[in-house]
Amino acid sequence: MDQQLQLQQHQQGRSSGFLRPLFTTVTSQSHPAEIRLNNCIAILNLLFPTRSLSRAEISRRINLSRVSVSQAVSDMVTSHLLVETGHENGKRPGKRGTLLRLDSAYWNIVSIDLSQPSLIRGAITDIAGHILIHTEKSIPSTSTITVRTIEDECERLIHTASGHILGIGVAAPGIIDSEGTIIDSSHLGLSHVHLGEQLHHRFACPCFVNNDTNSALLAVRLFDDPTPNMIFVQITRGVGAAILINDSIVIGADHAAGEIGHVIIDQNGPLCDCGKHGCLETLIAAGRLRTAIAHQPHEKQSILHAAGRQLGRVLAYPASLLNIDEITVFGPLDVIDSSFVTGATEAINSFASQRIIHRPITVRRCELGSDVTLIGESISVLQDVIRLPRKQSRLWKTHPSSPTKEDSHV
């Protein structure tokens, strides 16, 4: 999973809750605390997720003075973001520098994935996104999930954690605002639920709620695909998309960007959970395709090829509008196979504008596996906690006052 991630020091920042694939600087740099935070973010970008470098090498690579690097590193070691580990090899004369890397032992992050039908998936990760503990809980259906159900899963995970709890992240299908409120989720049967606020009240630690597809895109960008402009599509119980433009995930005016699952492509089609007929997800959601294949097993490849073409036609318009040349699709391997990908590739290149784009639009299958959403959500928690004001953040406190799992009031 080690990636050569390009440091982007000049990206403009935005408020907590806005997912980005790379850690970004704060907008203003007039206050010493903001300057130091920017320096810490630059160092974290350079070392994330598993790179080891000396202070001198960090200074050279990000063009920051050794004094500033030393101050920022001291802050990050005290906060258990970084740890010293060994020395540089002796290729150059002189004293060998001490290597620094992310401290993967101290902080734990609780990550919950609500995107799967009849299943709640959870994980404890370290701050580099590595899953340490994995849980799954079967439920009658996702529409039976309540805030108490989610709280119970968080509590169960916290009690299994060996490290200090940095924060809790929940990835859920539907429209979710920057405060962690589920505005609408037809799959979960939840509307205007202040989940982030309720989790914070219950566990007294930073808690965040994000759209599941946006969370998955975050993991794809960091660990699977270096492309800063793409459309990511997740096909599970429903169909959702996330859009990446210049390394920023597009959220939309009402936090509903990427809701392609409810685009009507057949007005005479099946009834959707949203109350309309012929929405995209009524035709190509994983469960729908499996049912169609079960009725006509010998037609599996043609069914999946046709489903891929339906997706490709829908994506042709935003791909042309945004000049996107790469589409990544995540879903069960028995559904998102080569026939599906071929169908999507053919359709999107048939219907998308080719006047300016002289190369074909690439459609590829996500190769990160079923943990992609859990990993992405855990990284979003780290990003948001780092950017919290110091008075609100447990991260920048010294060791004696740092929280443990017992501090989370469980």
Phi first, then psi, for residue 257 (nearest 5°) are -60, 140
Residues 6+ apart with CB under 8 A from 338: none
Same domain (yes/no): 38, 161: no
Q: Which of 103, 121, 142 corresponds to the end of one domain?
A: 103
Report pLDDT for 21.
Answer: 76
Report pLDDT for 13.
Answer: 32
Q: 398: domain range?
A: 107-215+371-408
H or E segment to which residue 232 belongs: strand 230-235
Same domain (yes/no): 184, 257: no
Same domain (yes/no): 277, 207: no
Token couple for 206: 């930073």
Same domain (yes/no): 245, 357: yes
- Would residue 220 count as lying in a domain? no
Same domain (yes/no): 111, 97: no
Q: Which of 103, 130, 161 corresponds to the end of one domain?
A: 103
Instruction: Tell me the pLDDT of the chain (410 aa) as tens digits.
Output: 333 232 232 223 333 334 677 777 665 556 777 788 888 989 998 999 999 999 999 999 999 999 999 999 999 999 999 999 988 876 666 677 899 999 999 999 999 999 988 889 999 999 999 999 999 999 887 778 899 999 999 999 999 999 999 999 999 999 999 999 999 998 888 999 999 999 999 999 999 999 999 999 999 999 987 789 999 999 988 899 999 999 899 998 888 899 899 999 999 989 988 889 999 999 999 999 999 999 999 999 999 999 999 999 999 999 989 989 899 999 999 999 999 999 999 999 998 866 655 678 999 999 999 999 999 999 999 999 998 877 667 777 644 333 444 444 33
3-state secondary structure of 93: coil
Q: What is the phi-psi region of residue 45: left when phi exceeds 0, alpha when psi lies from -120 to 50, beta otherwise?
A: alpha
Same domain (yes/no): 99, 113: no
**CB-based burial label for 323 (10 Å; 0-12, 13-18, 19+):** exposed
- Would residue 42 count as lying in a domain? yes
CATH code for the domain in which residue 345 is found: 3.30.420.40
Taking CA atoms, 236 is separated from 20, 93, 173, 219, 288, in Å, by 23, 56, 10, 17, 10
Same domain (yes/no): 285, 186: no
Same domain (yes/no): 182, 200: yes
Same domain (yes/no): 377, 328: no
CATH code for the domain in which residue 56 is found: 1.10.10.10
Q: How many domains does the structure of the chain reveal?
A: 3
Same domain (yes/no): 264, 286: yes
Q: Report the sign of the C-alpha dihedral through residues 262, 264, 266, 270, in that order.
A: positive
Q: Which of 103, 121, 153 corresponds to the end of one domain?
A: 103
Q: State the pTM of this model.
A: 0.87
- Would residue 146 count as lying in a domain? yes
In the chain, helix, strand, coil percent, each to 5? Answer: 40, 20, 40
- Would residue 1 count as lying in a domain? yes
Report pLDDT for 91.
Answer: 65
- Would residue 387 count as lying in a domain? yes
- Would residue 221 count as lying in a domain? no
3-state secondary structure of 60: helix
Same domain (yes/no): 334, 277: yes
Contact criterion met (CB below 8 Å) for 117 and 131? no
Contact criterion met (CB below 8 Å) for 332 and 302? no
Same domain (yes/no): 260, 197: no
Report pLDDT for 264.
Answer: 92
